[in-house]
Structure 1
């Protein structure tokens, strides 16, 4: 697992991204040679494509970003091979449209119809081959880091529940050790015993990391054994750190105030960042410009659906930075009397949603007016979704650390939105909070860009919308 600008990305995914970028770049050269293979003077033909390295770079960058936007490098999609094949096809259609638009805007990077067609075909075949090979190699145990868990109680059971999930993220939980002699909640088949020393056990089982998951460290803490393992190059981690790397969120049941205080994160997101503000304004203005036809058509459709009787937009009070209330602006997607019985979450197949509202909610078009909230400064482009005061009061009383999400500006999209589906229960809210805390802890402009591109796949595939 690599940490890039504070964000954890599986090593295999990083390598795959680099290899695919190279494949896309080289496919242009292969396409050029394939196009002029039967030419009597291939050198002369190729010279007409100069500077081919820049043209290949533009082609590779656009296709690669299209793959990122369709979720091909998302950590929660690495194990679904059939879905990946569909995403590759969609990403190439998206890439094709973007490249054609680029050629019209900047004709100097045009490859020529023949070379472009060959390059696209070779790139598609190359990516399919790379992905197939990746899935065969990535699932091999030789490429996984083996973990030894110290603890067989509640925390150990928490990790055991993620055993299969960890395997798909490059981790193999080799076993658990009962060191504190407390109640054992782990499957006995997964428990190992120390025959001689902790180091010998690690060497015999090819352990890469030791995870501290003891419920009570006052009893049986193997200090000397851990020190010996540490000096031999075996990584020792806290359970919260390991879970964060495996799941991409911060496990609330393992989070303590001291973890926040002594963590190396939770500072960048809560500090005033002019770079983030510039990013918010630029992204909002750009999307407003590109989406202006959609905004106008949607406004007209909503107005016509009620013959001008009902409003096009509606404002709803949400809580933002430091619990400050503000009016979030959205396209009206429900009937005007939708909340005559009080505030409530939207449910699946909600009868309050209008026909047009169902479509704009599914495609997230109803969120577009919030770009004006971003420009005003009430919201950021990326951040935890703002919640209603009526719900926040109850969540702060029942969900630990819920108030931490209000230490940053809320966003139109966020880490929780691309990693977790829409939820209408308190348990869903708790799970989404875990992703929001990961974002706050590991905030960087790189993570914002990552979320921005992956939001495209949420819109394209209608994930989590109601």
Structure 2
């Protein structure tokens, strides 16, 4: 419920990140318990005593199998709170993750020593993990409702930024926030924005904080706050209420940067780090890029004859497709892909975005795009240093020039190497127009501000999940 003034309540409030961690912790406990019960069943069927001596050689599986489950769950967006809230979607993902886990385990089994777990064990484990995780996910909304309550908030400001944050909360965080009302100018009291009433001016803010148990104030005004409202916001802050600028609240909820709302506040957008000491992240990232690119290119060499044959049988033209893209610091480089469109697809149109159900895409090209196998040749670009495994996707010079003129901070994405995959690619659908380019930029800027090995791993796992489920473009 988004507007419902009520007395202050004292139950704890879990943030979005804490809810995701709770989901992950519950999955870990459920799958560890599944390993334990599966071992017990195996011992019973094999007529072996279930003793510490029996368990000791199998301790490693208490780490491998739950760890594998969590990795696959992350790759399939199973810790997305919107998916967790939908019983049908959550069940579908549970079936998918269980199936993927069984397949991966069988691969591990066949390369493991003979004395490792029997194949039947994974059947026991798969069924038990499915049941235990399913029960946990079914009970989770009830437990969350008992353990937490939405944060009651006030929104300060009545311009279009207020409309955006209201729409965002309704779409992505209605269980996390409960909007008490809007604080605006005295002349605006009684009006409403997106159905949320303007309940008072600056002088009323502290009264609502005390009466309704407000725990957070989101400052959404794009104009400078007048003296009365500014002082009231400061009073709320001093009294222990969280005061959050609208761009930061938007970023927390959506994991995107709202570039159209930051105005001249460039520090919200740019990936500036006050630490001037040695940062090992770029060095580690480049090392990982090289190692994984070499491994990937070996796989590429195995698949190359089969993919090349399919492309040639499907349509005339070359196997590979090279295209100019804009890379680090605006440098132009040649990016390679398997050809997925008809030969000379842009002779008449020039540089245009590919569209959904684009008639230029070949039959084999549809498969390559959905599986993302068309991107495999870019591992050569990664090895050369033109690209990284993870980063904003490189765009064509024509698109960069046009979008930089229309979208604020667009060139900021050029401060890192472009990636084979990125945060925008795993969080958003394929961009087919300038509006999509704006949303993708929001995700790219979030990646720039929060880039780390952990986020890179998250993106790689999500990409693997999309490849396995054929959810590429």
TM-score scaled by length of structure 1: 0.88
Alignment correspondent of 1:18: 25
2: distance between equivalents of 1:186 and 1:109?
66
Which range moves more in the overlay, 359-368 or 69-78? 69-78
User: How far 1:261 sits from its partner (Å)?
Assistant: 7.0
Distance 1:22 1:36 in 2: 21
Is the alpha carbon distance of 1:152 and 1:464 closer, same or farther for their aligned partners in structure 2, counting shifts above 3 Å?
farther
Residue 256 (structure 1) aligned to one of 244, 251, 263: 263
**1:189-228 alignment to 2 at 5 Å?**
189-193=196-200, 198-228=205-235
Q: Indicate yes or no: 2:155 matched with 1:176.
A: no
Q: In 2, distance between residues paired with 1:411 and 1:348?
A: 22
Q: Which runs of 5+ in 2 are unaligned?
A: 1-14
1:67, distance to aligned residue in structure 2 (A): 1.6
CA separation in 2, counterparts of 1:18 and 1:259? 37
TM-score by length of 2: 0.87
3-state DSSP of counterpart to 1:42 = coil
1:261-319 CA distances to partner (integer Å, 9 max, x unpaired)? 79774689x9981111012112222333345433331122223445xx62110110011
Residue number in structure 1 paired with 2:293: 284
Shift of 1:38: 8.1
| C-alpha displacement of 1:37 | 5.0
**1:5 match:** none
Cα distance in 2, alignment partners of residues 302 and 361 from structure 1: 13
Contact kept, 8 Å, 2:233 with 2:243, in 1: the verdict is yes
**Inter-partner Cα distance in structure 2 for 1:203 and 1:30:** 51
Q: 2: distance between equivalents of 1:247 and 1:169?
A: 14
- The partner residue of 2:251 within 244, 247, 251 is 244
What pairs with 1:66-465 in structure 2 (closer than 5 Å)?
A: 66-74=72-80, 77-107=83-113, 110-138=116-144, 142-168=148-174, 170-179=176-185, 186-187=193-194, 189-193=196-200, 198-260=205-267, 265=272, 273-306=282-315, 310-341=317-348, 342-463=350-471, 465=473
Q: CA deviation at 1:442?
A: 1.2
- Deviations for 1:121-171, whole angstroms, at most 9, x for unmatched residues? 111100111111123444679432222111122221121222312435623
Aligned pair in 2 of structure 1 residues 121, 91: CA closer, same or farther (>3 Å)? same
CA, structure 1 residues 181+319, in 2 after alignment: closer, same or farther (shift >3 Å)? farther
Answer yes or no: is the 8 Å Cα contact 1:28–1:116 preserved in 2: no
Q: 1:343 to 1:260 in 2, by over 3 A?
A: same
Cα separation, partners in 2 of 1:88 and 1:286, compared to 1, 3 Å: farther
Shift of residue 250 of structure 1? 0.5
Which residue of structure 2 lines up, in the alignment, with residue 42 of structure 1? 49
Q: Residues 221 and 392 of structure 1: is their aligned pair in 2 closer, same or farther, counting only changes over 3 Å? A: farther
Shift of 1:423: 2.0
Distance 1:68 1:133 in 2: 20
Q: Is the 1:150–1:179 contact (alpha carbons within 8 Å) kept by the matching residues of 2?
A: no
The alpha carbon displacement at 1:438 in A equals 0.7
* Structure 1 Cα separation of the partners of residues 467 and 174 of structure 2: 25
- Cα deviation 1:299-354 (Å, max 9, x = unaligned): 22223445xx6211011001111111100000011111211112211112222222
